[in-house]
Structure 1
């Protein structure tokens, strides 16, 4: 089974993929999120996994847009505790480092640690694991990187300091993606929706009231500007439900009051394993 990730081997996307699907998978690295979305859309992989939210950095709105624009189906989610680690070539010490490279999120999540080492220059890169790969391939002896322990193992680097992130409650939410026309729905208690409101006073309040009336738990709501339509927005919602029929009735009722409604996916919430999907013959 092939899983497309953002980043090179050892990226946190791979860690999340292995947590969700298990280790009997083949990783298909894609450097950019747009490439990941295209890979899933074209059927180059069985699934994709994409970060959409971090408890420190917030929602990655561009990735929600990619899912909606490529008409991908959300079929699961994985929450990963992010532990940032400082690594370098063998025998290198922290005192030897002149610079540390990593993705800007990893740097931002570790700034308090580097206040203790003001001589180290922090340099933003495209990907955490790619920074480690470059150190290994180019034999950079005074350069460190921040990223996963899995990447450090892949690229044979020493771990100089583990778990250097400032906030220990640092989690990233990843969505599991497939092409819509080959996806078969499984038992679900969560849905991700994208909607555009009919533009009249109180339109959002009306939609939220309907959701509440059916005792559906609105767990997340985000607004994203519509390009080319100033002051007009697409709303992304996550809802949790115990009763599937009530959820379906709610969808039918709000659909008539919206300019556009896209159901991005209906799936099982939380850290559910691949087995539920696999056992349904997909």
Structure 2
């Protein structure tokens, strides 16, 4: 076996070694993540988007969404005392007007705020633990389609901003007037934030209430481990290219010697 062939064999062995090393570090990162999440095997990362599992409906107003949560926020125009002075404000809870002047009393709420959570949300075909929705979900105001508004509500409310209002003149509301907005629950990408245990997606221990959303240790580990389909970091690819470059140089050198 001549020197060129030996060099090629050595380069191929180096290539295989580099590939094995990259695979080793991928598996090590996945194993470390699984240990932190209390799993016996590598962490399974979500691939698709969250499916809310059907429509959530506010039947009082015919408002619906396919998101994982629906929130109805009701505010009433009321009196309150601030720095010894009476003022009118929108507030989501009734302000106790006991002790106010007789002309400045707040009426009871005629309509309640309500919230609906999806009980059938799935991710990649597996159910999602409710805690995932409650911790990671973000409420965003949306403008519903009021084509299903019941006649009794249509008689009492009119479109106002992104929702409905009971004031005859929205620019001059009166004490006791209501305004209603709806919000839907939106979830960010869940890769690195959830782990599949016993067939259910659970919140990872490192992603708990009070911890800033965004980069987490689990995400860093997941990134190092790739997406489970044989990804290798850019640095690993650089080392894989070195043996191939050596092969090309050796063949070129051998061809030059033959010509001379």
Q: TM-score range by the shorter chain?
A: under 0.3
Indicate the structure with greater strand content. 1
| TM-score normalised per structure 1 | 0.23
Larger RCO, structure (CA 8 Å, separation 6 or more)? 2
| TM-score normalised per structure 2 | 0.24
Q: State the structure with more CA Rg.
A: 2
